[in-house]
A and B are shown apart, each in its own frame.
Chain A
């Protein structure tokens, strides 16, 4: 497992695909909001609803070693592989596992599929109980805060009061910040990586390109494609292609492909995928369609666009962090132009202005936004040390959770 190459949800290289048996098991799923539905930011109510999750490692006796990992836009709960659909390695195998930075011998790692997702948690592809057909665009608009509220319900179900840490990159980083402001007392530490406290105009603009690509596909059928048994393959693939470019730096793209041609000695004077970079992007688009739902893409990108942590605090970000006791470790990447260091620095500024306990490091990497998913030793070293120091304060013993239950063998109340 440790020598597997990563297949990230945001950059998954075809070349790095791990051949393995397709596992049809979708992991754990729980019905939430049975007694009291989840009231969304949009004021719609959701419930009861399904929440799918995975766990790795073992919860210790005093339940102090739980870490919630929040996945990014196109990620899911399968941090470690094999992925039940693609059969590939998980999206954060560099970070999570026995002896890794998020050491499953020491910590109990929980990762749930976000609200609106398409890997088991309720989303627009699911059946609307009031119509008996899949929701499509009748699914309520969700926000990052709604995602966090649903995760909090999952923690209640798992009977975990306080997380040792809540960690995530990109959209996961936004959830981390929301966690630390909505439920500071439930987060001993918080680690937003390559994230931001709000979506910038540029972020929204790129998402709008993706959404328009999906909606322009006639197969999308105003979001009702599942009823008619069609699928906006082309639209979703183009959305993924556009998105994928934003996850990489110019330097990373150039190093990987340059102007190299694909399986030919000279250009074709046509619109074939002459260049390797074109072929690569097309492959990214097509393989993405196999595992992701087009409407989910619309809903989740919308949730990100709506995210503005300061807005609910009178436009002053610092107010969001007033009286937080959580210890923060904010991490950014030098070449990330999608969620640049300046965005993380805004968060650090706000935290400093309320004298919160914060560490901040900008990891030097030329791999762009996706670097947070890749093998970045400095990131592992810094985060690992941060967690070890915090674990000492929290009284989590090294090797307290010796028995390892991969894929949540020890999770309470789990079912397929």
Chain B
């Protein structure tokens, strides 16, 4: 079995490395939209977490379960409500928030079932997207890899700033925030976030409830 870090799919998801770093060892983790289970497998092997996953496709679930991971075929927007409060130390949502019908409600759900949430998003405020809209006059793809605006899964594009404002309005504490630049490297923009919102292509947030 190849380890997650050597998988070609791992390099396509630079946010996963950052997410993995935010997870404390020997914790309980729920990965929503876990795909073929790369992150869960890594967390299980390297951090000894008790991991669970939710994945919408049969292919993804089969890939996960056949590697010994506990994953259910389901949908974040309908199946998250079944879990009891605080069942997990971390609820992880990687790059799927803009694809949800109700991202705001799901964000709250993440922090209901998890003590903390780790959320990664593609940043719609990235400078290239801004310039594309400005000069081309067309809607940028914003990391969804779709063929056009008409079939993008990103129903609710948001920028890093949008996300920060939403968290503030919901009383969600951003414990950590890391941006990834166009090459997938972590950057350390501080301050008000204006730079981060311009030059971060993706961002990863460690969230907790305002207690």
The reply on A414 being an interface residue by CB < 8 A is no
Contact across chains for A389 and B67 when beta carbons are under 8 A apart? yes
Q: Are B58 and A359 in contact (CB under 8 A)?
A: no
Which residues of chain A are within 8 angstroms of B52 by Cβ–Cβ distance? 357-358
Question: How far, in angstroms, from A389 to B87 measured CA to CA in the complex?
Answer: 23
Contact of A361 among B61, B68, B84, B87 (CB under 8 A): B61
Judge whether A349 and B68 touch: CB under 8 Å: no
Residues of chain A lying within 8 A (CB to CB) of residue B69: 359, 389
Give B7-48 interface residues, CB cut-off 8 Å to A.
none
State whether B74 touches A355 (Cβ < 8 A): no
Cβ-defined contact, B79 with A378, below 8 A? no
Asked if A397 is at the interface of the complex by the 8 Å CB criterion, the answer is no
Q: How far is the CB of B194 from chain A (nearest CB, A)?
A: 41
With A388-B68, A389-B69 in contact, is A349–B62 under 8 Å at CB? no
Q: How far, in whole Å, are A81 and B87 apart by their CA atoms in the complex? A: 46
Decide: A353 and B58 in contact? CB cutoff 8 A: no
The answer for the CA separation of A123 and B73 in the assembled complex, in Å, is: 39
From B58, B65, B74, B87, give the contact of A385 (CB < 8 A).
Answer: B65
Q: Which residue of A lies closest to B68 (CB)?
A: A389
Closest beta carbon of chain A to B106's beta carbon, Å: 16
CB-CB under 8 A from A360, the residues of chain B are: 61, 71-74
CB < 8 Å: which of A327, A349, A362 contacts B70?
Answer: A327
CA–CA, A335 and B60, complex, Å: 20
Tell me whether B105 is interfacial, beta carbon within 8 Å: no
> How far does the alpha carbon of A345 sit from the alpha carbon of B73 in the complex, in Å?
9
> Does B6 lie at the interface of the complex (its beta carbon under 8 Å from any beta carbon of A)?
no
Q: Is B147 an interface residue (CB 8 A)?
A: no
Contacts of B83 in A (CB 8 A): 352-353, 355
Given known A327-B70, A348-B74, A390-B68, contact A382–B62 (CB-CB < 8 A): yes
Chain B residue nearest to A328 in the complex (CB): B70
Q: Which of A335-359 contact B (CB under 8 A)?
A: 345, 348-349, 352-355, 357-359
Chain A residues whose CB sits within 8 angstroms of the CB of B73 once the complex forms? 360-362
A-side contacts of B64, CB under 8 Å: 359
Chain B residue nearest to A361 in the complex (CB): B61
> Taking the complex as formed, is A17 at the interface, i.e. its CB lies under 8 A from any CB of chain B?
no
The answer to whether A352 and B82 touch across the interface, beta carbons within 8 angstroms, is yes
Select from chain B the residue with minimum beta-carbon distance to A378: B62
> Chain A residues with Cβ under 8 A from B169's Cβ?
none
Q: Does B66 sit within 8 A of A, measured CB to CB?
A: yes
Distance in Å: Cβ of B114 to nearest Cβ of chain A:
12
Interface status of A364 (Cβ within 8 A of chain B): yes
Smallest CB–CB gap between A178 and chain B, Å?
21
Contacts of B68 in A (CB 8 A): 385-386, 388-390, 392
B50-104 interface with A by 8 A CB criterion: 52, 58, 61-62, 64-74, 79, 82-84, 87-88
User: How many residues of B sit at the interface, in one of the four size bands?
Assistant: 20 to 34
Q: A392 — nearest CB in chain B belongs to which residue?
A: B68
Asked if B66 contacts A381 (CB within 8 A), the reply is yes
Complex interface: chain B residues within 8 A of A362 (CB): 58, 73
A363 is an interface residue with CB less than 8 A from chain B: yes
Give per-residue flags for A3-40: 1 if the beta carbon is below 8 A from chain B beta carbons, else 0.
Answer: 00000000000000000000000000000000000000
Do B82 and A358 touch across chains, with their CB atoms under 8 A apart? no
Could you tell me if A382 and B66 are in contact, using CB atoms closer than 8 angstroms?
Answer: yes
Query: Could you tell me the distance in whole angstroms from the C-beta of A276 to the nearest C-beta in chain B?
Result: 32
Contact assessment for A364 and B58 in the assembled complex, using a CB-CB cutoff below 8 Å = yes
In the complex, A21 Cα to B109 Cα: how many Å? 61
Which single residue of chain A is at the shortest CB-CB distance from B82?
Answer: A352
**Which of A327, A382, A389, A392 meets B61, CB within 8 Å?**
A382
Q: Kindly provide the distance from the CB of B55 to the nearest chain A CB, expressed in whole angstroms.
A: 9
Cα(A364)–Cα(B57), bound, Å? 10
- Chain A positions within 8 Å of B70 at CB level: 327, 357-359
Q: Which residue of A lies closest to B61 (CB)?
A: A361
- The residues of B that contact A381 with a CB separation of less than 8 Å are 62, 66
- Greatest chain A CB density within 10 A among B65, B79, B84 is at B65
Within A149-180, which residues are at the interface with B (CB < 8 Å)?
Answer: none
Contact A385–B67 (Cβ < 8 Å): yes
CA distance A382 to B87 in the complex (A): 26
Q: Per a CB cutoff under 8 Å, which of A354, A378, A392 touches B84?
A: A354
Q: A355-B84, A386-B65 are in contact. Are A378 and B58 (CB under 8 A)?
A: yes
With beta carbons under 8 angstroms apart, the residue of A349, A358, A361, A390 that contacts B58 is A361
A-chain residues with CB within 8 Å of residue B82 when the two chains form the complex: 348-349, 352-353
State whether the Cβ of A48 lies closer than 8 Å to any Cβ in chain B: no
Chain B residues whose CB sits within 8 angstroms of the CB of A353 once the complex forms = 82-84
Name which of A327, A384, A386 has the most chain B CB atoms within 10 A of its CB. Answer: A386
Measured in the bound complex, the distance between the Cα atoms of B52 and A335 in whole Å is 27
CB distance from B71 to the nearest CB of A (A): 5
- A352 and chain B: residue at smallest CB distance: B82
In the complex, which residue of chain A has the Cβ closest to the Cβ of B88?
A355
- Of all chain A residues, the one with the shortest Cβ separation from B53 is A359
**Identity of the chain A residue whose Cβ is nearest the Cβ of B55 in the assembled complex:** A361
The verdict on A329 contacting chain B, using a C-beta distance below 8 Å, is yes
Kindly identify, within residues 369 to 416 of chain A, every residue whose CB is under 8 Å from any CB belonging to chain B: 378, 381-382, 384-386, 388-390, 392
Given contacts A355-B84, A359-B71, A381-B62, 9 further A-B contacts (CB under 8 A): A348-B82, A349-B79, A357-B52, A359-B61, A360-B71, A360-B74, A378-B58, A382-B62, A389-B67
**Nearest 6 CB-CB pairs, A to B?**
A389-B68, A385-B66, A360-B72, A352-B82, A355-B87, A382-B62
